[in-house]
Structure 1
Amino acid sequence: MKYKRGLCILLAGILLTGCSSNTMYNEFEDGQQIIDFISPDSSEIQYADSFAKDLCVVPVNYQNKKDPFMTAKASLIFDVTDHKILYADNVYERLYPASVTKIVTSLIALEECDLNEMVTISHNAANITEWGAKKCGFQEGDQIKLKDLLYSFLIYSGNDAGIAIAEHISGSVEAFAEKMNQKAKELGAVDSHFVNPHGLHDDNHYTTIYDIYLFFEECIKNKTFLDIINTKGFTAHYKGADGKSKTAFFPSTNRYLVGREQAPENVTVIGGKTGTTSKAGSCLTLYSKNSNGHDYISIIFHASTGNELFAQMTRLLEYESK
């Protein structure tokens, strides 16, 4: 029997909180739980218990003492080595993710593609018209290796690179969005819906910080992904439509990597993904380690400014050194 991963997360959350009730969540319709009753020794529970060992599970009714310094709409930090919640606030609210969306796009590219494939930049990718949209500056007809495109996409957060990746994999942004939503179902990211590969605003493009944790947990298993997010700056080499060589340098948007912010003592920031739009506020997903060798994922959505975002992220990272 095939089980939905989202079901397993919720079952595991009940199990880990010691609930003795036979009431279990077994289906979702547009984010609404439907209650059913199953036997406590059933295969569903056994499967969920095993599945939970690989994840940090936040029960739906989980509450920790609110940190008054954490004013962003949603935040979390997990010890992913021991699968422990260090802090979690509002992890299941649907919010706009801005360029944190690029984690989802990158996961699909890393899973499905040969990174040596050549990508040709389309007219659509080269001509984003949305005001304020960050672009790498690729021009129609440019040809670039997918690996270099992915570096540019994650490090610099160029939205034109995102469209090029989506079209290369699926033929169109719309078809790629369907693939993103299918991947969300596979990972149990039940409160997400994506309509584009980059995170430029759309009212129907949303996720939760817990769902992003599920995507990011998969991404950090990939060495190439880790190499990319740990890079301070990247020089892309590619060819124009006329066959002439081009280069472009893309600095990281991660302030910890470029020295604009300092992590707490005994904490090493590996990397992550920033995101900012007017409606999403300032967002950040981060992977870090402490001096004891433990790995951590921390996420903040909807901080009021970039300075507030990184100040609050540093606060979360202090939980590692306690």
Structure 2
Amino acid sequence: MRRKVKRKKSGIRIFVALLLMAVIAAFVYKSIIIPGNRQIFEKGYDDKTLSYPSLKIAYDYSDSSVSLSLNTLNSPNVILIRLKDHTLLMQKNSEEKIYPASLTKMMTAIVAIENLPDLKKKITLTDSVFQGLSEADASMAGFQPDENVRAIDLLYGALLPSGAESCVGLADYIAGSEKNFAEMMNQKAAELGMHNTHFANVTGLQNKNHYTTVKDLAILLSHALQNDTFREIFTSSRHFVPPTNKHPDGITLYSTLFEELNNQSIAGGKILGGKTGYTDEAGLCLASLAQVGNQEYILISAGAKGNHHSQQYDITDALTVYDSIGK
């Protein structure tokens, strides 16, 4: 009788052990395997790395190279990344939905570059390209209807003076319409892992269905800077467009970022380039690339109060953040 009891107890122990092992295995699977397939916004900051098709961001707050109180910044949405290893050094509401305004044009430019086999190809800016832009108070590069402009010059026009006509002209030539090109932008966003982004146009003009996050924009800029043509344009302070049928003497395009910087500098480094943005709904926005010491950094900020006529608080924030690196 005692043997039967012992056998019964032994069987129970084996059953409990097997059940415990199954529970542990399920927990490990859920903790390790499943998160690898989740979208970025389902992950917490306890994760060390997040994988994308072209970007890995290491969430390591032990990095002491930045010493700054986020409360001192004017922008409610900020992210700072060291470009070389994509270490996240600072973030403030980086997953919050924002309107990107003209930061949109970074996606417009990289999609255009990746779909243009000949950057010297001349593109005619038809009358339809300009429809509605003036009424929407869109930023313009200065090109005119029926002007024949090289693709490369339109790219400079899109990123430096933030020319809306340059963006629409590229979109119409490449995809047949702005709507079709916006779909290409959304496809690119999906490929990059920008899971909380949707583009409705190529200019960043206000649309409730046109949104992103500063984290997604950091993913975008990290990818775009790998392209030599994009980097060259993004870091240029000016560009001369050769003579065209509408500008016989050519035209010089100037970067809005460098104009607003007004020769202000950062300690131990310099701002290499960037893209500004503004609408009433988006506030003052800035995507920038800087070198401090021997490292490059990406800073995306959005939502700062002000306008084109006020103090440029997005620029102020960039100078503050970059100055804090290494202190």
> What interval of TM-score do these two structures reach, taking the shorter chain for normalisation?
0.7 to 0.9
Return the index of the structure with the highest Cα Rg. Answer: 2
**1:228-243 superposed matches below 5 A:** 228-240=233-245
The equivalent of 2:19 in structure 1 is none
| Residue pair 1:105, 1:162 contacting (<8 A) in 2 also | yes
Cα distance in 1 between the residues matched to 2:142 and 2:130: 7
The equivalent of 1:10 in structure 2 is none
The equivalent of 2:12 in structure 1 is none
**1:1-322 superposed matches below 5 A:** 21-22=31-32, 24=35, 26=37, 54-58=55-59, 67-113=70-116, 114-127=118-131, 128-240=133-245, 245=248, 247-255=250-258, 260-291=262-293, 293-305=294-306, 306-322=311-327
SS, match of residue 24 in structure 1: helix
What is the number of residues matched between the two proteins?
282
SS, match of residue 181 in structure 1: helix
| Residue pair 1:159, 1:198 contacting (<8 A) in 2 also | yes
Q: What do the CA deviations read for 1:47-102 (whole angstroms, capped 9, x no partner)?
A: x877699422459xxxx985211131200111122332211111111110000000
Q: How big is the shift at 1:130?
A: 2.8
Q: 1:142 to 1:246 in 2, by over 3 A?
A: farther
| Residue pair 2:199, 2:210 contacting (<8 A) in 1 also | yes
Q: How big is the shift at 1:24?
A: 2.5
SS, match of residue 163 in structure 1: helix
Q: How big is the shift at 1:139?
A: 2.2
Q: 1:70 to 1:49 in 2, by over 3 A?
A: closer
Q: 1:245 to 1:53 in 2, by over 3 A?
A: closer
> Once superposed, what is the RMSD of the aligned Cα atoms?
2.9
| Residue pair 2:286, 2:314 contacting (<8 A) in 1 also | yes
| Residue pair 1:144, 1:238 contacting (<8 A) in 2 also | no
Q: How big is the shift at 1:314?
A: 0.9
| Residue pair 1:155, 1:253 contacting (<8 A) in 2 also | yes
Task: Give the TM-score of the pair, scaled to structure 2.
Answer: 0.78
Cα distance in 2 between the residues matched to 1:307 and 1:131: 22
More helix by share: 2
Q: 1:74 to 1:259 in 2, by over 3 A?
A: closer
- Give the unaligned 5+ runs of structure 2: 1-28, 61-66
- Give the unaligned 5+ runs of structure 1: 1-18, 35-44
Q: What do the CA deviations read for 1:18-43 (whole angstroms, capped 9, x no partner)?
A: x9935537456xx9859xxxxxxxxx
User: Identity of aligned pairs, percent?
Assistant: 28
Cα distance in 2 between the residues matched to 1:195 and 1:52: 23
Q: What do the CA deviations read for 1:117-137 (whole angstroms, capped 9, x no partner)?
A: 111102122332334211123
